[in-house]
Each structure stands twice: as structure tokens, then as C-alpha cells.
Amino acid sequence: MEWYETGDGVETWQEVLLVYNAALRQIETKMEILNEEFQHVHQYNPIEHIKSRIKTPESIVKKLRRNNLDSTIENMVNHVNDIAGIRIICSFTSDIYRIADMIEKQRDIKVMTVKDYIMFPKASGYKSYHMIVTVPVYLSDKTVDAKVEIQIRTVAMDFWASLEHKIHYKFEGDAPEHIKQELVDCAHMVSDLDDKMLQLNEEILELSHMQEVEREEREKERRRQQELENQIHQS
Ligand code: 0O2
């Protein structure tokens, strides 16, 4: 049951905040567990770090106004999908899809929408993988499905998006053309950097795998020699 769609009236803003904070904590914990388990199985952490936030009331009201909707709690909960937002930052583009896949496989998380701005970047140059999901929050007298926006991106994409966001706000969305163009150029550089880093990482993994195989072969050979020497001594 989605409490924001029931007819029993939307609760106070305090309760809404409580639910969204609980939903964020749940997703964060799930991500930490996946990261630890991944480290245990593959000796590698796909997640660099996680940031979460509750959208400010001013920002929520602005979004509602943009969509010609009144600033009621009901409209906020029903029409603003990113009141609770979590950003997962990873090293490589391949990690993004790995994490998205792990999220989709969690039985209590329902994926409502996916926007892949990595395959299809925005005109601004923005790249990121967005998911709107719901997660159940168990309250004393009911269970509610709370919406959370998950943004997954690399460290490099995050660096670009943070700077672009600041510039966007500074010029109130109307930055000079040459700055917009420079940002698009930087976004291409960020993509090239991500591709290069991924390629380099794969080469390093391949090399260390080959070194491991060679080390095992040398060890086997050393044992064979040792056995041979022992047999010669005994005869
Ligand atoms: P803030 O301040 O970061 O919260 P929807 O949310 O699905 O109803 P929308 O807004 O089109 O519709 O969703 P979309 O495109 O998935 O974008 C949501 C969020 O992605 C934005 O939230 C930004 O955080 C980020 N984003 C999208 N496009 C850009 C971009 O061009 N540059 C940067 N830096 N970030 C972007 P808010 O609410 O706009 O802002």
C-alpha cells in the first residue's frame, strides 16, 4: 500500500520527513551491505561513497510551481519523486550497472522508473544513472512504500555535475553560451577519462591475474624439483 495514494489523508510534514529519512537509511544500509559483501567475495569495493539528502521545502515548492501544482503535502508526496535522494559514487562506469543490477534484485525494492543518462546524456553534457524506487517503511500501525531517487555516477561524472550545478544556479539557468559550450567540452573529457580509467583498470587486473598464474606455476615447478631431489637422495 502506498500511503501517499490512500484516501485516508496525508499525514503531517513531520511524519512525511520521518518516513523519507527512514527510507534513505534503509537504502544506505542495503548499499553498505552490498559493498561489504562485494569486498568479501571479489576483494573490491564498487562504491566509493554515498551521499543522501532530503530536498529542501523551497526546492519542493519550486518544482510543484513549475508543474502548476499547489503546495500541498499530498502533491509533494505524489508528484515530487526526489524528496528523498541518494547518490552513489563509484570508480568505474561498469560499477554503475553492477550496482543498478544489485538494486533491482532486492526483493523489497520496487523500481518505478529508470533514466539512463549515461547511454543518453542530457544536452548539457550531464551523465548519471537515475532510478526512482520504492522501499517499504514499517511504522507501528501501517507499512508505507516511500519513493527514493537513486542517482549512480562515477567520481568524474560527480565532479562535473557538482560544478555544472553551481554554475547553473549562479546564472539562474541562463549561463553565457561559451560557458555552456565549455561545460559540454568538459563532459566529453570526463567521458574519455572514465573510458581510459576503466580500460587501465582492466589491464591492471589482467596483468595481476597473469602474475598470479605465473607465481603458481613457479611454485608447482619448485615442488616438483624438490620431490625429484628427495627421490634421488632416498635411492
Ligand atoms: P537538485 O537540486 O539536484 O535536487 P522528475 O524528478 O523525474 O520529476 P526531472 O527533474 O526531469 O523529473 O528528473 P531528472 O531529469 O531525472 O533530474 C533530476 C535530478 O537530476 C536533478 O534534480 C539534478 O540533481 C540532476 N540533473 C538532471 N539534469 C542535470 C543537469 O543537466 N546538470 C546537473 N548538474 N544535474 C542534473 P533537481 O531537482 O533539478 O535539482
* Whole-number percent of the chain with pLDDT over 90: 76
Ligand 1 nearest atom to the CA of residue 161, by list position = 34
Q: Cβ atoms within 10 A of the Cβ of 147, count?
A: 22
Average pLDDT over residues 217-229: 91
CA of 235 to the centre of ligand 1 (A): 79
The yes-or-no verdict on residue 172 having pLDDT over 90 is no
The yes-or-no verdict on residue 220 having pLDDT over 80 is yes
Per-residue burial over 123-144, b = 16 or more CB atoms within 10 Å of its CB, e = otherwise: ebbbbbbbbbbbbbbeeeeeeb
Please tell me which residue in 36, 37, 74, 149 is annotated as part of the active site: 149
Average pLDDT over residues 113-125: 96
Contact 92, 150 (CB under 8 A): no
CA of 13 to the centre of ligand 1 (A): 23
Q: Is 162 exposed, middle or buried (0-12, 13-18, 19+ CB in 10 A)?
A: exposed
Ligand 1 nearest atom to the CA of residue 80, by list position = 8
The yes-or-no verdict on residue 19 having pLDDT over 50 is yes
Strand, helix or coil for residue 104: helix
- Supply the pLDDT for residue 191: 96
pLDDT digits (tens, 9 = 90+) for 44-77: 889 999 999 999 999 999 999 999 999 888 899 9
- Supply the pLDDT for residue 33: 94
Check if 149 is active-site.
yes
Average pLDDT over residues 122-146: 94
- Supply the pLDDT for residue 42: 82
CA of 228 to the centre of ligand 1 (A): 69
Q: Which of 117, 165, 169, 183 to mutate to test the pocket of ligand 1 (most atoms within 8 A of CB)?
A: 165
CA of 234 to the centre of ligand 1 (A): 77
Cell numbers linked to 31 = 548499499
- Supply the pLDDT for residue 5: 44
- Supply the pLDDT for residue 99: 95
- Supply the pLDDT for residue 15: 87
Average pLDDT over residues 144-151: 96
- Supply the pLDDT for residue 97: 96
Q: Which of 54, 60, 82 to mutate to test the pocket of ligand 1 (most atoms within 8 A of CB)?
A: 82
* Domain 10-197 in CATH 3.40.190.10: no
The yes-or-no verdict on residue 1 having pLDDT over 80 is no
Mean pLDDT of the chain: 91
CA distance linking residue 129 with residue 96, whole number of Å: 7
Beta bridge partners, 88, equal 50, 152
Pocket-forming residues, ligand 1, beta carbon under 6 Å: 55, 59, 81-82, 115, 122, 124, 126, 130, 161, 164-165
Could you give the angle at the alpha carbon of 94 between the alpha carbons of 208 and 180, nearest 5°?
Answer: 125
